[in-house]
Amino acid sequence: MAKVRVMTSYLSGLVSDTAPGVALVFIAVIAAVPPYQIVCQSTRGRARSAIGYLLGLGAGLAATIALGVVAGASADTSAIGAAGLLASFFAPFAGLARGKWQSTRRPARRRSVAEGIPR
């Protein structure tokens, strides 16, 4: 019985200690996906980056609130909130940069018959 209590207290301490780091990574991934999808797949439009950033920020904030509610009493919600706000603000920039970098690699333009084919 004593071993079960020690193991339970150890696991609850582990959960409360690692929750902000796990929340940071989880929310960063969630916040980076919408800007990446918008910038990478769309080829036209002047406001792609702004819309992508706002969608990533909104997704990150929603994930922060959801994770704070789910964590509830088992973890420090203020630490999860701080990590979530940090990830929600900075991760969309990473998604935008990754989408821009990946979308710039386009195949070379093929020459038409009228331009002549190099030999």
The 10s digit of each residue's pLDDT in 7-32 is 566 656 777 788 889 999 999 999 99
Residue 60 forms part of a structural domain: yes
Q: Which two tokens stand for residue 78?
A: 């203020």
The amino acid at 24: L
110 domain residue, yes or no: no
Q: Over the stretch 39-82, which tens digit does the pLDDT of each residue have?
A: 888 677 788 889 999 999 999 999 999 998 888 777 788 888 99
For residue 111, being part of any structural domain is answered with no
How far, in Å, are 12, 33, 84, 99, 100 from residue 56 at the CA level?
A: 31, 7, 12, 13, 15
Q: Is residue 36 part of a domain?
A: yes
pTM of the model: 0.75
